[in-house]
Amino acid sequence: MSLDTQELAIFTTGYAYALMQSLIQATLLISSISLLRVQAEISSISLLRVQAETCRQASSF
């Protein structure tokens, strides 16, 4: 059972489309992970600032 040119073109196009979708999903996943890291960093910095301010206020008494 061999593929003719049109069938091969359809198969190749479908395979390329699926591969492109996978690459897009991987890129979105990497972007989401990067965004989560940035959000975690911002949260950590905010928490450290609150803790530092709390310590500063406590030491002023």
Token digits of residue 19: 């591969």
Question: Residue 31 belongs to what H/E stretch?
Answer: helix 5-59
DSSP type of residue 61: -
Is the pLDDT reported for residue 1 higher than 70?
no
What is the per-residue pLDDT for 12?
Answer: 95
Average pLDDT (40-54) is 94
- How many Å apart are CA 45 and CA 39, to the nearest integer? 10
How far is CA 5 from each of CA 10, 11, 19, 47, rounded to the nearest angstrom? Answer: 9, 10, 21, 62
Is the pLDDT reported for residue 34 higher than 80?
yes
pLDDT in tens, 2-32: 779 999 999 999 999 999 999 999 999 999 9
What is the per-residue pLDDT for 2?
Answer: 74
Q: Looking at the whole model, is its pTM more than 0.75? A: no
CB 3 within 8 A of CB 11: yes
